[in-house]
Structure 1
Amino acid sequence: MSGSPTSLVALLRRNAATPAVALRLFLHLTSASSPPPAHSTSFLSRLLAADPSTHHLLPRLLRHILSLPHPSPPLLELLAAATSSPRRVPLAFSLSVLRALPAPPTPVYNRLLLAALTESRLDLVESLYKDLLLSGAAPDVFTRNILLQALCAAGRMDLARRVFDAMPARNDFSFGILARGYCRAGRAADALQVLDAMPTINLVVCNTVVAGFCREGRADEAERLVDRMRAHGLAPNVVTFNGRISALCRAGRVLDAYRIFNDMQEAWQRGLPRPDQVTFDVMLRGFCDAGMLDEARVLVDIMRCGGFLRKVESYNRWLSGLVRNGKVGEAQELLAEMAHEGVLPNSYTYNIIVDGLCKEGKAFDVRRVEDFVRSGSMTPDVVTYTSLLRAYCSKGKTAAANRVLGEMAEKGCAPNLFTYNVLLQSLWKAGRTAEVESLLERMSEKGYSLDTASCNIIIDGLCRSGKLDMAMDIVDGMWNEGSLALGRLGGSFASLVSDSSLTKRCLPDRITYSTLMNALCKQGRFDEARKKLIEMIAKDISPDSVIYDTFIHGYCKHGKTSLAIKVLRDMEKKGCNPSTRSYNLLIWGFQEKHKSDEILDLMSEMKEKGISSDVMTYNSLIKSFCERGMVNKAMPLLDEMLQNEIVPNVTSFGLLIKAFCKLPDFSAAQRVFDVALSTCGQKEVLYCLMCTELSTCARWMEAKNILEMALEMRISIQSFPYKQIIVGLCDSSEADHAHSLLKLFIAKGHSFDPAIFMPVIDALSERGKKPDADMLSEKMMEMADRNDGNVTVSGAVTPRSGKHEQDKSPESDWHALLHRDDSARTIMKITNRVRTGWGQRGNVYGHKRKQDDDIYVLENTG
């Protein structure tokens, strides 16, 4: 090669805009007699690895390097570029570079181990570690830490502990990785033991364990650890508090989290850290996840005033909260605010809105969603299309889903494995076997292989469809065959999966076993479920609280509460601390057996162990008392909940309202209803519940008052027993009130079945109020003509009776009345008016109508 060694690097730099040209220059100017100069291979490798469109050129570069007499130095440069690229070169290529090296040093293995861990290829981490040992390379602390992290991520905590104990040297990261793994597995007590074993207490590890205790509902242990931190001179920082707030929010203890947040805002003079951006974002997400939108709105206002609502990430959290709580319109308004504030939305912003529209069933026109996205100067990405695909599949719109896949191909938006898994899950759950096989063939053509998530989808589908034994057989086969075990299903499964290399192998994980054990417990096959639990532990997969909760729920569902208690005790012995959910499942089991005393004992035990009760805990106790007619014991629980900073929900109040109405004590029910409105807000379900209970007890006037309140609040009345109320008022000689209620319906613009006019028309006619009856008759016909018979019917009412039944036919009550043989006098008049037209007296049908009326009178006189 002519020129200085740096001339090739300079030449490559000048052609960096065209990587293919740079590669041709490199291939032409380097050979066995003219090896590449220093840094040239590294520069070219990084250039090709930086853009996915040039990844296909890397194998050509590899072949050229292997033809050189001393390939190791440039191979190391190539591998370094491939494993450190932000755009992730496929691991298969990096593995081929590794195999080409005669004796890869430990740092090379470390790079690949880290890349495999980053892509969650946990099985590859283990195989690479074994390969490292076989090659004679010596693992260092970094190597063992990566292995430790992979085992923790897979939930194999017992094996992780053995690796940790066997490490000849450890650093703070080693302790932190193991402690975090225990906390994620719901074993904060074990994480505390790891912290105790550290030579010097570490703030990061302390924060991890504090968050772990909070997540498990063990606030007292968290507080004790915080006090211990202060005693060792470690001042809890904002990260400590953020971890506590985040963990409490995830555990559903949002009010406890807000108390800490409020102290940080108002009591910071006492040495508490001030809230930062993360604190506000975590608290906002907690409110949104709990559906506490009013509190979230107040917090958003505070964030605006304090300058904490300036980043797109914060807006995205608020947008996501609004969408998850059904406020898509408000979320779209927030987009306009972002533009006004100069905050540029990103693709995630728009995908939040698109996902919300899809879940509301409003996005089944692909063009409509695309128009929305284009209006924000954004183009759909793989996440956008995946949201649409999930929505289409959930509604069984296969043709539309295929059209979306076609559009993705046209626009160069390649589906990823998650996209295919969404399709696979939707189709498999719906039992659309033919479409599943077609999808698998398409995946095979695109070079996708099934991963553990794909296998879990298939296994879950088999369990749901009653093919549990087949699912168990496949899981057994996965340990030796990986995804090849799915070939036992036949069809396209056999042709798709191929385990020719470890990179395609997928093994059962905690979710796999959790799915199996849940299905076994549902069928009452507890012995087999216990065997799977033992097998899981033998495979170094630590069961978490979710799996133990599965057994607790299964035993309680089958009435075996004593065995459920034994699971709880065994759970504690194994170092997996019960959560609030664990106790709630047990309490639910005792509530089903109406055992209030046992529920109280469990709640006392929770308090002793520092496990907080939540609204579900109290609702089970309230329901147990109410079902036993002990409302006097249930009512004080509302005050106790508020004292413990637990806000009663609609279910809490609904149980009490029903119980008081059953006594009957309607004044007490009304007081509870009033408190419910002030606590939960003006919710439709509360008005509907109160109205229904009063109607069931024939308290027509009180029910009418509640219904009128709902109408004033502009609440939809479709789920209300409005027909039953009107008929009941008419039967109890309160036709005037029924009349006024109808007029209010009309004035407020509510849609309802025109047939409900009939009881009122009949009652007014019997009382001699013919003008009012005629006016209502005219209004009924006008409404019937406008609706053309296509009204939404919530129930069928038999005129002049108090019966309220569910309509089993698609026809409205209006059609049923028109076709009845025993129609009332007014119905006969109306049907005749329909024939002649309103106000057309004196026509050829007039005499016939008079005859019909006279006949009717004669036939119905006693």
Structure 2
Amino acid sequence: MDHTTSSKLTKVVLSNTNNPKLACHLLKRILSSSTSSSSIPTHHLLQSTRAAMRLLIAANMHHQIHDLCQFILSTQPPQIAHPSLLYLIQALAHSPTHLHQAFSHFKSLRAHFPSPPPPLSLYNLLLHSSLNQHLSDFATWLYSDMITAGIKPQTYTFNLMIQSLCDSGALDHARNLFDKMSEKGCHPNEFTLGILVRGFCRAGLTSQALDMLDKSPGRVANRVVYNTLISSFCKKDLTEEAEELVERMREQGMLPDVVTFNSRISALCRVGKVLEASRIFRDMQLDQELGLPRPNRVTYNLMLKGFCKIGMLVEARALVDTMKKDGNFTTLESYNTWLLGLLRNGKLLEAQLVLDEMIAEGIEPNSYSYNIMIDGLCRKHMLLDARRLMDLMVSNGVYPDTVTYSTLLHGYCSKGKVLEAKGILHEMIRNGCYPNTYTCNTLLHSLWKEGRTLEAEEMLQMMNEKCYQLDNVTCNIMINGLCRNGKLEEAIQMLSEMWTDGATSLSKGNSFAGLANSIHNVSKCTPDVITYTIIINALCKVGRVEEAKKKFIEMMAKNLRPDSAIYDTFILSFCKQGKISSAFRVLKDMERNGCSKTLQTYNSLILGLGSKREIFEIYGLMDEMRERGISPDIYTYNNIITALCEGGKANDATSLLHEMLEKGIPPNVSTFKILIKAFCKSSDFKVAFEIFEVALSICGHKEVLYSLMCNEFLAGGQLSEAKDLFEASLDRFFALKDFMYKDLIDQLCQDERLDDADYLLHKLIDKGYGFDHSSFIPVIDGFSKRGNKHRADELTKRMMEFASEDRPVDRTYQNGKRIIPRKSQNDGGSGWQDIINRDGGSSIALKTLKRVQKGWGQGSISSLRPQQDDFLDYYDGIG
């Protein structure tokens, strides 16, 4: 092949971008012809080779690249093969997806050409790429090969290695490498020191990072190093050390810049010290003569985020007004920060106005903006509004992402609307937005919570088939679901499987039916403290405390550090069993292991002490709570009130009721039930009724409160009060199941108040209630004893008619209207004989019943049913 022909072929290779295979084939012909002809220049061959390689890399044709490399190594001289491979490796190393191929060809290059070694720039490139991809094994091999090849590393090389060691947590090795740089002929620069300081600060070793700065007097630290240290000290609440560093910067001629101050403000706000951050912010605004930098947009946004985080909305609004006035409230980040702050503090309407303002100001909301709003609506359970906002989002050209759908799905799950949540998942996939592990875990948890075991297993199967990354959360959800659904043994077995199989324990046939034999793309899932907390809590609930202790010991043996939650589980279990000394022994172990008491801890101890009437000790715990800044909740107060009431100190309990109201902790129905029962037990019905009325004003007219007060009046002999309250309950159409209305009617009859008893019977009937037919018997007996046979006969007829209607006990509603039940079509008899027999066989009522039946001259009571009128037909129709 002559030079002209080869030139034409080279041009074909360079221009043939649509057919890389053809270009590769033509290149091989050129290279083959060059072995028999010296007329083709080397640079011409290299140009053609590089062109073909670029085409193959762009097309991801790795098999063809490998074949081409083998062809070049076997046919071409070093002056062609060596630079060609170097070019290929460099091109592959620039792409994260081709990095493994780059290393493969690099090792092939080193095997075929031990010398000359590759240039240092290629080693640095490969080191940088491997470290970015967290391929520490590659980086270690490269460094060793570089030293073997006799190539002297540069400071940049050491910086890369130190960065890798810091990122992997090998800080001691990073420090040693830093100290040995001088021995290798390299001197650390300010970037080296900055990398090392940042690594130690991120690991929380700020003092050691400062020590490195102190021991490097010959190395000039830049502002980045100081800012890193200042921020780290602020995060650890070491503000004095941070201030000393600021002064040290000034002494070395480095005035703190706005980044320095932003670092301090950011760190302080992050740990909740917003007031301290605001003082620094104010100094930046006012004290210009001190040489302080003026706040920039980052500073304003940091302070806005800080104010919103701790609920200082007045200050946040004032800051927003200032930002608008100064022209600093013009970015999407500022609006999103303000949106998030408003929604975190429950200001949904105001947030909506801010969203509208954004659009009016020409700042287009992004998916994050809409996601903030959708999350706020879902937290308020305004799911329909959240759906509408998502539709608006799409109409404005912003398409929902995984976070959007996951937020909405979580909203439906939190309301127990699992079917709607599954619909969101299908819609999400249909629109090309694929769920992540969090999405699936949310739905999985909800399915288990609702007892939909089969659907939960199907969900896990889907996650397996779609190769989702199953994690510890997934495993814990499944274990919790098994425990909730009475499958404790399976949950314990799965815990054991996790230690041996990791996440593949989810695929075990004995744990979940129908799952695949293997789980793809899983991370190693081992039990954590949450896993053991779930199991231990389930064991304690069913009284298997000794087994729970063994699981606790097993957890400790696995080097899992217990937290307060797991100790609280044991403390609550012992307190419920009345084993207070055991609970306090657990408490001592809890504190010895560095776990702080929680509100749950105090509530459990107060519950246990209350059962033993240890009131003095309870007040001691309350004092301790106040000292530790732990606010009692409704359960705390209810436990103390129960203890006081059961100990005969109901009056003391009412003072706690006043304390709750003063602290903004609204009492619930349980609170008032405890107090009402206590005062009724001591026959102080006046106070009990006053508490009842307070309860109605706070909790509303609850059926449970009326039934309790009515029954307590009746039990305490307050017959008139019980009757009046029962009448009021009937007017509110409360259910009868919790009212002792039979006893009330019977007691009225015994007290010769037949008219009141008769009135209640007729009111029950007129209100459309179904009730126990035996309630008629004492009233019929009473009128008969008085000789009022007419009223006794009338009431007996009404009882027979009422029994024949076969009304179900209690009233029913449909579309807000009371429904009169349809009469029974069963002609097998009224069952009135059962009523008489069940009531002890009242002879008077039985005689009256026979007399009425004989007077009617009818056989079956069912034949005496009254004709339905239009009113009943109307209600039957809408049933």
What is the TM-score with the length of structure 2 in the denominator? 0.58
Residue in 2 that maps onto 1:482: 502
1:540-555 to 2 correspondence within 5 Å?
A: 541-555=560-574
Give the C-alpha shift of residue 467 in structure 1.
8.4
Aligned-partner residue type, residue 310 of structure 2: R
Larger gyration radius, structure 1 or structure 2: 2
Q: Helix, strand or coil: the match of 1:635?
A: helix
Separation (CA, whole Å) in 1 of partners of 2:357 and 2:603: 37
Q: Helix, strand or coil: the match of 1:514?
A: helix
**Is residue 755 from structure 1 mapped to residue 758 from structure 2 by the alignment?**
no
Distance 1:683 1:623, change over 3 A: same
Give the C-alpha shift of residue 664 in structure 1.
1.5
Aligned-partner residue type, residue 837 of structure 1: L
Identify which of 395, 415, 423 aligns with 1:380: 423
Could you report, residue by residue, the CA deviation over 1:229-268 in whole angstroms, capped at 9, with x for unpaired residues?
78997999342343334xxxxxxxxxxxxxx657878999
Identity of aligned residues (%): 27
Aligned-partner residue type, residue 864 of structure 2: G
Could you report, residue by residue, the CA deviation over 1:645-673 in whole angstroms, capped at 9, with x for unpaired residues?
33322222221111111111111111111
Could you report, residue by residue, the CA deviation over 1:656-691 in whole angstroms, capped at 9, with x for unpaired residues?
111111111111111111222223333344334333
Could you report, residue by residue, the CA deviation over 1:757-815 in whole angstroms, capped at 9, with x for unpaired residues?
63586368546485697489559846864xx6655699xxxxxxxxxxxxxxxx9xx97
**Is residue 686 from structure 1 mapped to residue 705 from structure 2 by the alignment?**
yes
**Is residue 641 from structure 1 mapped to residue 656 from structure 2 by the alignment?**
no
Separation (CA, whole Å) in 1 of partners of 2:731 and 2:705: 15
**Is residue 701 from structure 1 mapped to residue 720 from structure 2 by the alignment?**
yes
Kindly indicate whether the alpha-carbon contact (under 8 Å) linking 1:145 and 1:174 is maintained by their aligned counterparts in 2.
Answer: no
Q: Helix, strand or coil: the match of 1:380?
A: helix
1:323-342 to 2 correspondence within 5 Å?
A: 323=381
Identify which of 545, 550, 553 aligns with 1:524: 545
Distance 1:694 1:555, change over 3 A: same
Aligned-partner residue type, residue 203 of structure 1: I
Q: Helix, strand or coil: the match of 1:455?
A: helix
Residue in 1 that maps onto 2:864: 837
Give the C-alpha shift of residue 6 in structure 1.
11
Give the C-alpha shift of residue 131 in structure 1.
7.1
Which ranges in structure 2 are unaligned for 5 or more consecutive residues?
A: 1-8, 28-47, 70-86, 108-122, 144-156, 171-199, 214-224, 247-262, 285-298, 324-333, 359-368, 813-825, 868-879
Identify which of 592, 609, 621 aligns with 1:602: 621
Residue in 2 that maps onto 1:456: 476
Kindly indicate whether the alpha-carbon contact (under 8 Å) linking 2:796 and 2:849 is maintained by their aligned counterparts in 1.
Answer: no
Separation (CA, whole Å) in 1 of partners of 2:566 and 2:314: 35
Q: Helix, strand or coil: the match of 1:381?
A: helix
Kindly indicate whether the alpha-carbon contact (under 8 Å) linking 2:413 and 2:443 is maintained by their aligned counterparts in 1.
Answer: no
Aligned-partner residue type, residue 686 of structure 2: S
**Is residue 614 from structure 1 mapped to residue 633 from structure 2 by the alignment?**
yes
Separation (CA, whole Å) in 2 of partners of 1:443 and 1:545: 33
Residue in 1 that maps onto 2:96: 79
Kindly indicate whether the alpha-carbon contact (under 8 Å) linking 2:830 and 2:862 is maintained by their aligned counterparts in 1.
Answer: no
1:33-72 to 2 correspondence within 5 Å?
A: 69=69, 72=89
Could you report, residue by residue, the CA deviation over 1:56-100 in whole angstroms, capped at 9, with x for unpaired residues?
xxxx666566667565456556536xxxxxxxxxxxx99999989
Aligned-partner residue type, residue 762 of structure 1: I
Residue in 2 that maps onto 1:667: 686
Separation (CA, whole Å) in 1 of partners of 2:729 and 2:379: 27
**817-826 or 670-679, which deviates more:** 817-826
**Is residue 244 from structure 1 mapped to residue 310 from structure 2 by the alignment?**
yes
Separation (CA, whole Å) in 2 of partners of 1:95 and 1:724: 86
Aligned-partner residue type, residue 571 of structure 2: I
What is the TM-score with the length of structure 1 in the denominator? 0.59
Identify which of 320, 345, 348 aligns with 1:283: 345
Give the C-alpha shift of residue 629 in structure 1.
0.8
Kindly indicate whether the alpha-carbon contact (under 8 Å) linking 1:660 and 1:668 is maintained by their aligned counterparts in 2.
Answer: yes
Distance 1:723 1:277, change over 3 A: farther
Identify which of 588, 603, 606 aligns with 1:587: 606
**Is residue 204 from structure 1 mapped to residue 266 from structure 2 by the alignment?**
yes
Residue in 2 that maps onto 1:510: 529
Distance 1:777 1:206, change over 3 A: farther
Could you report, residue by residue, the CA deviation over 1:817-860 in whole angstroms, capped at 9, with x for unpaired residues?
453563644666579563433479xxxxxxxxxxxxxxxxxxxx
Give the C-alpha shift of residue 448 in structure 1.
6.1
Distance 1:453 1:563, change over 3 A: same
Kindly indicate whether the alpha-carbon contact (under 8 Å) linking 1:355 and 1:384 is maintained by their aligned counterparts in 2.
Answer: no
**Is residue 819 from structure 1 mapped to residue 834 from structure 2 by the alignment?**
yes
Kindly indicate whether the alpha-carbon contact (under 8 Å) linking 1:277 and 1:308 is maintained by their aligned counterparts in 2.
Answer: no
Distance 1:612 1:748, change over 3 A: same
Structure showing greater relative contact order (alpha-carbon pairs closer than 8 Å, 6 or more residues apart):
1
1:112-261 to 2 correspondence within 5 Å?
A: 112=133, 136=143, 138=160, 144=166, 192=237, 202-210=264-272, 237-245=303-311
Kindly indicate whether the alpha-carbon contact (under 8 Å) linking 2:676 and 2:691 is maintained by their aligned counterparts in 1.
Answer: yes
Q: Helix, strand or coil: the match of 2:545?
A: coil
Tell me how large the CA RMSD over aligned residues is: 6.0
Kindly indicate whether the alpha-carbon contact (under 8 Å) linking 2:304 and 2:320 is maintained by their aligned counterparts in 1.
Answer: no
Aligned-partner residue type, residue 280 of structure 1: L
Q: Helix, strand or coil: the match of 1:629?
A: coil
Aligned-partner residue type, residue 475 of structure 2: C
Distance 1:2 1:662, change over 3 A: farther
Q: How many residues align?
A: 657
Give the C-alpha shift of residue 627 in structure 1.
0.9
Separation (CA, whole Å) in 2 of partners of 1:177 and 1:756: 79
Kindly indicate whether the alpha-carbon contact (under 8 Å) linking 2:504 and 2:518 is maintained by their aligned counterparts in 1.
Answer: yes
**491-500 or 456-465, which deviates more:** 491-500
Kindly indicate whether the alpha-carbon contact (under 8 Å) linking 1:382 and 1:415 is maintained by their aligned counterparts in 2.
Answer: yes
Give the C-alpha shift of residue 510 in structure 1.
2.7
Give the C-alpha shift of residue 452 in structure 1.
2.7
Separation (CA, whole Å) in 2 of partners of 1:608 and 1:179: 26
Residue in 2 that maps onto 1:853: none
